[in-house]
């Protein structure tokens, strides 16, 4: 059910469920993380306009955070909401795979 | 010791003691300091335990805190798992001497969308290391990253970076890896970690499994190249290098009784050396256990503790059987001086046997240990393994001045001294019990094949099992060879007969002479009596004659006076 709601963002579902909570884990202002953030921003604007929230977490500043979400790879994008939890690693340059990973597009 | 030596010789490579029993000896002092070591092996070979013990010993014995990064089990699971080894992780974690970081990756949750690196892992590790000032790191098993993360080429590059980084941070690390088909590890970790590689193995031979450890390589250091059996018990891992303690033990001159007075006499009059090893070998039914029981009995009488490892009979059977030769072992069990440990050799592998023996010896602290018979253990391992194990056990015992008596069973078909050859070099005193077949019967013979450091008898003694214990008697050695048993007895009887006949003859002659002497004496006496009578007569005659002459002269004078003769007066005048 949730999947469907998520997959069709244009349909009006309950607003609370529609808020996408995304976390991007980076380690300093590396080119890779900058690219990742730019890519994420672009995808969200395109597919989730107005109903997403991005939190960028810098592990260099808060190393203990890595444990909580089991972060190994950098950059890692974590979809906290909607459930289930999803992790996408890499600089998010492969848009198709990001969409699949976020369940914005069903796997082919 | 070994650490210092290695440092002196190598002049650079420093080592970190693992604290794992035996491993430091095998590696000549421990793992390379500040470098990663690869520990690889199949499933269930003990990689994780080795890693964990490395950290626990480091934290508790060498004041080196450690970080355990687990890719497979959570901290709770690990804590539970190692409780059975006597490690209390939660206490170490609470006191910040150990940190367990569970890195969990779920392949299904992860989508790869472009370039990435493992900076997250680095940061985590760095954070963990810095938070407790760790000196030791274990990554168990980093290869699971290959299953969890896509794009192996990135992963490889990152792993290489990780190991370099660990080196730079000066961490003494253990990286575990699953054994691959044709390589040491499934993903070729040995390419990156090449300072020291330890291979663990869990092999099953004759349905009995034995764990083994081998140092495949150790850059810049000498190391033992053999496969060493190791075991995992409630005190952790224990590698058993054959030369762990080496030949450095200090001996005593103290002698202890064998429990058989005559055997003591044969051994220079005093018995075995304390802390020596005694081998009793012989074919079936020659009385090996009885010799052992005597020794136990004697030790218990002195108030010393004994452990009897029996691989053939149950304790109550031994007690019953020994009672039949007048040795009451039951009383010592009741007094707590004697412990029996009876197991079929096949219940577990050699390593486990050794472990349980070690444990009981450690707990009971006996002065005397009996293993009866040691050869039964070869049903679970090769003879070489048994010898290796015995060597190890003996080293330990000699170090603690425990006297050990072990029996070996020689197969009837073998040469009497063959089976024991493997063991014989381990033994200080070697008693050989053998059958002597003469005149249609088997008798037991005992002799001392060797006894290091003491004068000992070179003679065969006949070995008798009586209801008062073992008795050693001289065999008959005579013109007809060595005789035992009834042959000896009949020979002795024969000799006795001859002897008694001779004695009777002598007595008869003595009597004869006596009679003769008496007759002679009687004769002498009668002659003397006769002579004395004659002498008396002669005396009488002489006196009579005197008296007669006296009388005659008186008469003449009277007659002259009467005749008034002057012849006399004339003669007087002249």
Q: Is pLDDT above 50 for B2? A: no
Q: Are B370 and B295 in contact (CB under 8 A)?
A: yes
CATH entry 3.50.50.60 includes domain B2-239: no
Q: What is the mean pLDDT of residues B468-492?
A: 76
> Nearest-CA residue of chain B relative to A88?
B111
Q: What is the pLDDT of residue B570?
A: 52
Q: Are B111 and A97 in contact (CB under 8 A)?
A: yes
Does any domain span residue A11? no
Q: Are B232 and B363 in contact (CB under 8 A)?
A: no
Contacts of A66 in chain B (CB under 8 A): 120-121, 123-124, 127
Q: Is pLDDT above 60 for B162? A: yes
Does any domain span residue A107? no
Taking the Cβ of residue A87 and every Cβ of chain B, the question of whether any pair is shorter than 8 Å is answered with: yes
> Comparing B2-239 with B255-474, is the CATH topology the same?
yes
Judge: B116–A101 Cβ closer than 8 Å, yes or no: no
Domain ranges of chain B: 2-239, 255-474
To the nearest whole Å, the CA of B42 is away from the closest chain A CA by 26
Judge: A89–B110 Cβ closer than 8 Å, yes or no: yes
Measure the CA–CA gap between A63 and A43, rounded to whole angstroms. Answer: 27
Asked whether the ipTM of the predicted complex exceeds the cut of 0.90, the reply is no
To the nearest whole Å, the CA of B99 is away from the closest chain A CA by 13
To the nearest whole Å, the CA of B120 is away from the closest chain A CA by 4
Query: For residue A42, what are the domain limits?
Result: 2-6+16-101
**Is residue B223 exposed (0-12), middle (13-18) or buried (19+ Cβ within 10 Å)?**
middle
Q: What is the mean pLDDT of residues B1-10?
A: 45
Judge: A59–B126 Cβ closer than 8 Å, yes or no: no
> Nearest-CA residue of chain A relative to B106?
A87
Cβ-nearest to A90 among B106, B113, B145? B113
Q: What is the mean pLDDT of residues B517-532?
A: 94
Average of per-residue pLDDT values in chain B: 83
Taking the Cβ of residue A6 and every Cβ of chain B, the question of whether any pair is shorter than 8 Å is answered with: no
Taking the Cβ of residue A73 and every Cβ of chain B, the question of whether any pair is shorter than 8 Å is answered with: yes
Cβ-nearest to A63 among B112, B114, B124? B124
Q: What values do phi and psi take at B152, rounded to 5?
A: -60, -30
Number of structural domains, chain A?
1
Say what the pTM is: 0.65
Determine the distance from the C-alpha atom of residue B404 to the mean position of all C-alpha atoms in its chain, rounded to a whole number: 3
Contacts of A76 in chain B (CB under 8 A): 116, 120
Does any domain span residue A108? no
Q: Is pLDDT above 70 for A65? A: yes
Strand segments (E) across B118-207: 136-140, 172-178, 196-205
Tokens encoding A45: 């604007």
Measure the CA–CA gap between B273 and B428, rounded to whole angstroms. Answer: 9
Mutate to test the interface with B, among A29, A40, A64, A73 (most CBs of B within 10 A): A73
Please give the share of chain A, as a percent, with pLDDT higher than 90: 0
> Strand pairing of A76-81 and A52-58?
unpaired
Q: What is the pLDDT of residue B8?
A: 46
Q: Is pLDDT above 90 for B244? A: no
Cβ-nearest to A71 among B111, B120, B126? B120
Determine the distance from the C-alpha atom of residue A23 to the mean position of all C-alpha atoms in its chain, rounded to a whole number: 6
Measure the CA–CA gap between B460 and B447, rounded to whole angstroms. Answer: 5
Please give the share of chain B, as a percent, with pLDDT higher than 70: 91
Measure the CA–CA gap between B371 and B342, rounded to whole angstroms. Answer: 10
The CATH topology of domain B255-474 is Rossmann fold (3.40.50)
Cβ-nearest to B117 among A74, A84, A88? A74
Q: What values do phi and psi take at B213, rounded to 5?
A: -130, 140
DSSP B330-375: HHHHHTTSEEEEE--GGGS-HHHHHHHHHHHHHHH--SEEEEETGG
Does any domain span residue A106? no
Sole residue written with tokens 């075991």:
B231
To the nearest whole Å, the CA of B112 is away from the closest chain A CA by 5
Q: Is pLDDT above 80 for B510? A: yes
Q: Is pLDDT above 90 for B352? A: no
Distance from the first to the final alpha carbon of chain A: 19
Task: Give pairs for B261-266: CB < 8 Å, separation 24+.
Answer: B262/B461, B262/B471, B262/B472, B262/B473, B263/B291, B263/B431, B263/B446, B263/B470, B263/B472, B265/B457, B266/B448, B266/B456, B266/B457, B266/B459, B266/B461, B266/B472
Cβ-nearest to B123 among A63, A93, A97? A63
Judge: B113–A74 Cβ closer than 8 Å, yes or no: no
CATH of the domain at A94: 3.40.30.10
Distance from the first to the final alpha carbon of chain B: 142
CA distances to B137, B140, B215, B225, B235 from B350, in Å = 32, 28, 21, 21, 17
Q: What values do phi and psi take at B517, rounded to 5?
A: -60, -40
Reported as a single tens digit per residue, the pLDDT across B354-404 is: 777 877 887 889 999 999 888 777 777 777 777 777 887 888 888 888 999
């Amino acid at each position: 059910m949730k999947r469907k709601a998520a997959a069709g963002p244009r349909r009006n579902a309950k607003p609370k469920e529609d808020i996408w909570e995304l976390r991007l884990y980076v380690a300093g202002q590396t080119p890779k993380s900058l690219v990742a953030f730019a890519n994420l921003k672009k995808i969200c604007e395109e597919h989730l306009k107005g109903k997403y929230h991005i939190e960028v977490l810098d592990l260099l500043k808060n190393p203990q955070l890595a444990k909580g979400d089991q972060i190994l790879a950098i950059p890692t994008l974590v979809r906290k909401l909607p459930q289930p939890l999803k992790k996408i690693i890499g600089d998010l340059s492969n848009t198709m795979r990001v969409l699949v990973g976020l369940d914005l597009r069903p796997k082919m | 010791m070994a650490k210092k030596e290695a440092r002196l010789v190598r002049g650079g490579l420093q080592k970190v003691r693992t604290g794992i029993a035996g491993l430091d000896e095998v590696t000549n002092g421990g793992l390379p300091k500040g470098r990663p070591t690869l520990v690889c092996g199949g499933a269930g070979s003990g990689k994780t335990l080795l890693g964990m013990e490395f950290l626990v010993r480091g934290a508790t014995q060498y004041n080196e805190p450690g970080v355990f990064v687990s890719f497979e089990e959570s901290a709770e699971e690990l804590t539970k798992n190692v409780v059975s080894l006597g490690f209390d992780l939660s206490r170490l974690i609470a006191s910040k001497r150990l940190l367990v970081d569970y890195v969990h990756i779920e392949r299904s949750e992860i989508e790869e969308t472009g370039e990435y690196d493992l900076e997250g892992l680095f940061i985590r590790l760095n954070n963990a290391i810095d938070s407790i000032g760790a000196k030791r790191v274990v990554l168990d098993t980093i290869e699971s990253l290959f299953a969890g993360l896509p794009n192996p080429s990135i992963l490889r590059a990152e792993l290489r970076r990780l190991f370099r980084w660990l080196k730079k941070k000066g961490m003494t690390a253990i990286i575990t890896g699953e054994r691959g088909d044709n390589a040491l590890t499934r993903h070729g970790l040995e390419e990156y970690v090449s300072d020291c590689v330890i291979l663990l193995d869990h092999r099953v031979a004759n349905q009995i499994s034995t764990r083994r450890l081998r140092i495949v390589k150790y850059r810049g250091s000498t190391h033992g190249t053999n496969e060493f059996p190791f075991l995992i018990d409630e005190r952790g891992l224990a590698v058993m290098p054959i030369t762990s303690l080496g030949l450095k033990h200090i001996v005593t001159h103290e002698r202890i009784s064998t429990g058989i007075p005559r055997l003591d006499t044969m051994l220079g009059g005093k018995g075995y050396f304390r802390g020596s090893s005694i081998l009793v070998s012989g074919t079936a039914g020659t009385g090996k256990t009885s010799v052992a029981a005597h020794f136990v009995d004697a030790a218990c009488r002195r108030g010393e503790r004994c452990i009897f490892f029996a691989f053939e009979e149950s304790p109550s059977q031994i007690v019953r059987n020994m009672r039949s030769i007048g040795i009451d072992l039951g009383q010592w069990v009741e007094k707590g001086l004697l412990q029996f440990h009876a197991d079929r050799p096949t219940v577990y592998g050699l390593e486990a046997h050794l472990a349980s023996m070690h444990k009981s010896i450690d707990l009971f602290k006996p002065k005397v240990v009996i293993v009866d018979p040691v050869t039964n253990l070869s049903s679970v391992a090769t003879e070489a393994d048994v010898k290796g194990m015995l060597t190890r056990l003996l080293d330990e015992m000699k170090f603690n001045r425990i006297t050990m008596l072990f029996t070996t069973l020689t197969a009837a078909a073998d040469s009497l001294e063959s089976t024991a050859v493997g063991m014989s070099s381990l033994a200080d005193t070697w008693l050989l019990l053998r059958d002597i077949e003469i005149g249609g019967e088997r008798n037991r013979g005992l002799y001392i094949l060797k006894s290091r450091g003491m004068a000992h008898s070179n003679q065969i003694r006949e070995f008798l099992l009586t209801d008062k214990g073992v008795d050693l008697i001289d065999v008959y050695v005579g013109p007809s060879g060595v005789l035992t048993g009834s042959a000896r007895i009949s020979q002795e009887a024969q000799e006795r007969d001859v002897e008694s006949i001779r004695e009777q003859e002598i007595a008869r002659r003595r009597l004869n002479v006596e009679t003769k002497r008496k007759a002679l004496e009687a004769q002498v006496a009668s002659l003397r009596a006769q002579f004395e009578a004659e002498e008396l007569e002669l005396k009488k005659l002489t006196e009579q004659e005197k008296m007669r002459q006296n009388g005659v002269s008186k008469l003449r004078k009277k007659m002259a006076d009467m005749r008034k003769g002057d012849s006399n007066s004339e003669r007087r005048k002249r």
